[in-house]
Amino acid sequence: MRVTASEKKQRHEWAVRQIDAGMGLSELTAFTAETWGCSRRQARESSLSPK
């Protein structure tokens, strides 16, 4: 699934807020993969790397 630059930015900001709230990186990756329907690798790359 392709996302726009705006969606990528929103997802990155959301991920940073989750980390600030105390969610661990592994937990965030698993949660992101389930929520966005992608692999853990894609979730890790898309949520933690600003684009």
Tens digits of residue pLDDT in 5-27: 898 899 889 889 999 999 998 89
Amino acid at residue number 24: G
Q: What is the mean pLDDT of the chain?
A: 81
Q: Is residue 45's pLDDT more than 80?
A: no
pTM (2 decimals)?
A: 0.66
Beta carbons within 8 Å of 9's beta carbon, 6+ residues apart: 50, 51
Per-residue pLDDT averaged across 35-49, rounded? Answer: 71
Size (the chain), residues: 51
CB-CB neighbours of 29 under 10 Å: 21
